[in-house]
Amino acid sequence: MSLPTVVVTRRLPQHALDVLRAQADLIVWEQDCPVDRKWLLKHLPEAEGLYCLLTDRVDREVLQVGKRLQVISTMAVGYDHIDVAGCTARGIPVGHTPGILTETTADLAFALLLSAARRIVEGAEYVRKGQWTTWSPDLLLGQDVHGATLGIVGFGRIGEAMARRAQGFQMKVLAVRSPQSSASSGSGTQLSATAILPREGSSVGINEGESVSASFQEVGLHEALAQSDFVSLHVPLTPHTHHLIGEDEFRAMKPSSILINTARGAVVNPEALYHALVHGHIGGAALDVTDPEPIPMSDPLLTLPNCLVIPHLGSASVATRTRMACIAAENIVAGLRGDALPHCVNPEVYRV
């Protein structure tokens, strides 16, 4: 009996490909760039599975062409690039890779915070340009991180992991669970969140090991913006969070505050961000994500020394990206077998 066919929209770590090849014939987009739309639509009619990335738009057209699709899985936590409602209507389970990138993404978010606060990239460029000729008492002065106030907007797994890192710098943490609320229940109360970190040598994401807590104060969005020295965004992109941070929000922030975004680019209004940075409404920004993405070289944000932009590296560690690739592959294999996906976005497809 012939194997089912799976379309894969990018080269993957070898182990993930091995997992897929054991159960399916693969059609792989081999180039190191987003899949060509015509190529994708050409090969989808013969596919039972689609393994995609967050750069791939899986919309109504894709679903119409992919008439044989039994399962779709993305190598990402977020799934705003997929028409999940359309998949559910077709009875197609959608897989993703939650949990595995929590600690790695929090590492990156805190690295951005430190880099922007202490002007690390500016300093490196200063040296490379041959401008370092002497020590100066006012050269590239930055902001202290220890003892500062960190506002975390979106207090899920990654937000809590960010709070644990802030604990080591004796930072005061203000947590915004629901950005739509003017104040959360428990506002003003000191609370704590506990996580179980992996033991040394265990697989990332395995819930065993040492318990680590982080204390925080739960507040509303505008209270966090007004009080924080650093604001870190960790909300999913939804109709409610699209341009969540705009002109009014920037005006509510401290003139010295720094915005960190490792969520989705469209959570921030880019025009409002540029205006806020140019006119001193905030002190700086550090972005792992942009809108659009990739950011065009003509984007005015790239002209600003107080705006640090990197190319969506939140989960970019060898271990985490390999595990993400394998989890997405395991979702595909389960779907082809008719089993429930280990990590399913739309479990309602299994309800009779």
Q: Do the beta carbons of residue 263 and residue 287 sit within 8 Å?
A: no
DSSP string, 92-117: --EE---STTHHHHHHHHHHHHHHHH
What is the distance between the alpha carbons of residues 69 and 213, in angstroms, rounded to a whole number?
A: 43
Angle (deg, nearest 10), helices 157-167 and 102-117: 50
305 exposed, middle or buried (CB, 10 Å; 0-12, 13-18, 19+)? exposed
Residues whose CB falls within 8 Å of the CB of residue 206, separated by 6 or more in sequence, listed in order? 198
User: What amino acid positions are annotated as catalytic residues?
Assistant: 264, 293, 312
- Residue 160's nearest CA partner among 211, 225, 221, 229 is 211
- Residue 158's nearest CA partner among 288, 293, 290, 314 is 314
Cα radius of gyration rounded to whole Å, the chain: 22
Beta sheet of 172-176, edge-to-edge order = 190-196, 211-218, 172-176, 149-153, 230-233, 258-261, 284-287, 307-309
What is the distance between the alpha carbons of residues 57 and 293, in angstroms, rounded to a whole number?
A: 13
For residue 12, count other CB atoms closer than 10 A to its CB: 24
